[in-house]
Structure 1
Amino acid sequence: MDMNKLIPLLSEMAIFVNVVESGSFSKSALKLGVAPSSVSRSITRLENALQQKLLERTTRQMRLSPAGQEVYSLCCDMLNSAQLAVSSAQVNTEDITGVLRVAAPKALSKQVLMPMLLDFMALYPKVELQLKVSDRYLDLVSHEVDVIIHITETPTQGLISRVLAPCRLLLCATPDYLMKQGIPTHPQQLIDHNCICLGESPKDRIWIFSQEDKKLSIQVKGTLTVNHSEIRREAVLRSMGIAVFPDFSIQEWLDTEQVQQVLPDWTLGGHYQGNIVAQYAYSKFIPKQIKTLVDYLQTCFQS
């Protein structure tokens, strides 16, 4: 296909990505601010030009065809490159300027990143920071994000990864609770304790422990279930029970001995641990504000 025919299809490709990410023509139209019929015509024009059926549609659902899956992946790359092209002009500017869109988990954002990011803005007042706080993984292209900060043992492939700090899960309780209820010396003893759980799924009541070649799954129970680390921490500080925390969420209280680690010789399993990682797209021209932010965060975590 020659360039004259390709150029008009670029907007259709962008709309195609939006439809797939939105999950329906109507939702995509709402996001784009156009009529659903306009979105439908764009997809039809793209399918006709490529001579491929990209979306398999029924009255109840929509899914990518085999050809559509490959085209979708390549169109995502195209949109990401377009975004980098827009911001690449800022690479060689003397001042750090421009929009910087960052996604990060809720607890990490409030308890750790917030003061760092606000200090960064004070240092670089020409940067417009847009922070998206969500415990869901937000994709760079579909969620219009420049930098993803997340806690993981397996960073997303195909992106530049910068490790900011390690993060591990700790089991904690107050000395007062442990004095009254006893200090567990083995994970199995947790079944006799009041365990404060996350509660987002039934699996959250199954705590996984490992020690060398041993691995245990313990079904715990308790009188409080809450999917907010600060509320769990407050309950623990009131000596209500034992709870699991990412280390950054409880370290201050460990340092002042208001709480103590339980079963320190065992390693806790779970999703919210590994490394705190900043990730962004590969490009010949990395916007200067992205590199400056990640360098700044790395320095903050190491200090």
Structure 2
Amino acid sequence: MDTNKLIPLLSEMAIFVNVVESGSFSKAAHKLGIAPSSVSRSVSRLENALQEKLLERTTRQMRLSLTGQEVFSFCREMLTSAQMAVHAAQADRDDVSGSLRIAAPKALAKTLLTPIVLDFIRDYPRVSLQLKVADHYIDPISDEVDVLIQITDSPVEGLVARTLGNCRLIVCASPDYLEKYGMPGHPEDLRDHSCLYLGENPRDRFWEFSRAQDKSVVSVSGPFAVNHSEIRREAVLQGLGISIFPEFMITPYLRSRQVVEVLPDWKIRGNYQGKIIAQYAQSRFIPNQIKVFVEYIRTRFISDSGVQTE
């Protein structure tokens, strides 16, 4: 196939890659911002041009044909090379400009990232920034994210990882609640207290503690369960019970003595604790806006985040 015939197929190949990675025509269409019918026509044009069936489709599922698997591999390399070409051009710029797509968990994004991101936008007006907030797993490649920020001790393999700080979980209650019901001295004492938990699944009722070689698993109960940290924090501030929070959500209230840490000598097991890490693709050409943004948030985390830093 000569170049004149190949060039019009490049966009069809890119759409084909998105269909395969998204797992459906409708999801690819939503991601690309076009109609599902346009996606379907693009794949059909590619199949007709190559005179090969790339996707085997039924009403319930879609899978690559043997030829489609090989074509997808080359098309994916083509798209990656195109992205690297853009990165190479942007990496040599002295100014900070271009697009930047960030993903982060909800509580972290709202509590810590939002003020930093808004300041970054004001300081670097030539950068067009998109913030994707989600608690489910984000694939930085298929979801086309430039910088992935998460709380984890197991960063995504193959990506550059910059540690911004550390976050632990804190058990706390209001002074009024503790004055009325007493301060727990051991995790087992929580059985006799009003504990506010997530309530997303049955395991949320079981709080697991450790201290040196000691371990304790406590079945807690209370008048209120909610999978929203800010609502649960408000309930704690109003003296309704004891609950668990990432430290960045509760540190200001600890400092102002609106809440008091409970069982500070014990470590509680759960999500939303570990290293706060920013990750981005490993390449010889890192776009300038990515490098500047990661350093910007790293500096701000150190100065005013309210989390532990290394």
Give me the TM-score of the superposition, normalised by structure 1. Answer: 0.86
Q: 1:273 matched to which residue of 2?
A: 273
Query: Helix, strand or coil for the counterpart of 2:129?
Result: strand
Q: 2:291 matched to which residue of 1?
A: 291
Contact 2:101 2:146 in 1 (8 A): yes
Q: 2:94 matched to which residue of 1?
A: 94
Letter in 1 for 2:223: T
Deviation of the 1:180 alpha carbon: 1.2
Deviation of the 1:229 alpha carbon: 1.2
Residues 1:78 and 1:173: Cα distance change in structure 2 (over 3 Å): farther
* CA root-mean-square deviation: 3.0
Residues 1:269 and 1:137: Cα distance change in structure 2 (over 3 Å): same
Deviation of the 1:247 alpha carbon: 0.4
Residues 1:242 and 1:84: Cα distance change in structure 2 (over 3 Å): farther
The 5 A counterparts of 1:85-164 are 85-164=85-164
Give me the TM-score of the superposition, normalised by structure 2. Answer: 0.84
**2:258 counterpart of 1:258:** yes
Which whole-Å deviations, capped at 9, do the CAs of 1:77-105 have from their partners, x for residues lacking one?
65444324223312222211111111111
Higher mean C-alpha deviation, range 133-142 or range 159-168: 133-142
Deviation of the 1:69 alpha carbon: 7.8
Work out the CA distance in 2 between the residues paired with 1:66 and 1:199. Answer: 46
Q: Kindly, what percent of the aligned residue pairs are identical?
A: 58
Query: Helix, strand or coil for the counterpart of 1:94?
Result: coil
Q: 2:223 matched to which residue of 1?
A: 223
Work out the CA distance in 1 between the residues paired with 2:72 and 2:159. Answer: 18
Residues 1:153 and 1:42: Cα distance change in structure 2 (over 3 Å): farther
Residues 1:62 and 1:185: Cα distance change in structure 2 (over 3 Å): farther
Deviation of the 1:47 alpha carbon: 9.1
Work out the CA distance in 1 between the residues paired with 2:106 and 2:98. Answer: 24
Query: Helix, strand or coil for the counterpart of 1:195?
Result: coil
Deviation of the 1:44 alpha carbon: 4.6
Q: 2:307 matched to which residue of 1?
A: none
Query: Helix, strand or coil for the counterpart of 1:218?
Result: strand
Q: 2:306 matched to which residue of 1?
A: none
Work out the CA distance in 1 between the residues paired with 2:274 and 2:216. Answer: 19
Which whole-Å deviations, capped at 9, do the CAs of 1:186-231 have from their partners, x for residues lacking one?
2122122111112222222222212223333322222111122111
Deviation of the 1:290 alpha carbon: 0.4
Higher mean C-alpha deviation, range 19-28 or range 220-229: 19-28
Q: 1:172 matched to which residue of 2?
A: 172
Contact 1:55 1:62 in 2 (8 A): yes
Higher mean C-alpha deviation, range 65-74 or range 261-270: 65-74
Residues 1:15 and 1:248: Cα distance change in structure 2 (over 3 Å): same
Contact 2:9 2:46 in 1 (8 A): no
Work out the CA distance in 1 between the residues paired with 2:202 and 2:17. Answer: 34
Higher mean C-alpha deviation, range 37-46 or range 80-89: 37-46
Q: 1:300 matched to which residue of 2?
A: 300
Deviation of the 1:272 alpha carbon: 0.9
**2:194 counterpart of 1:194:** yes
Q: 2:182 matched to which residue of 1?
A: 182
Work out the CA distance in 2 between the residues paired with 1:7 and 1:93. Answer: 28
Query: Helix, strand or coil for the counterpart of 1:196?
Result: coil
Deviation of the 1:150 alpha carbon: 0.9
Work out the CA distance in 2 between the residues paired with 1:71 and 1:269. Answer: 46
Aligned residues: 300
Letter in 1 for 2:226: V
Letter in 2 for 1:266: W
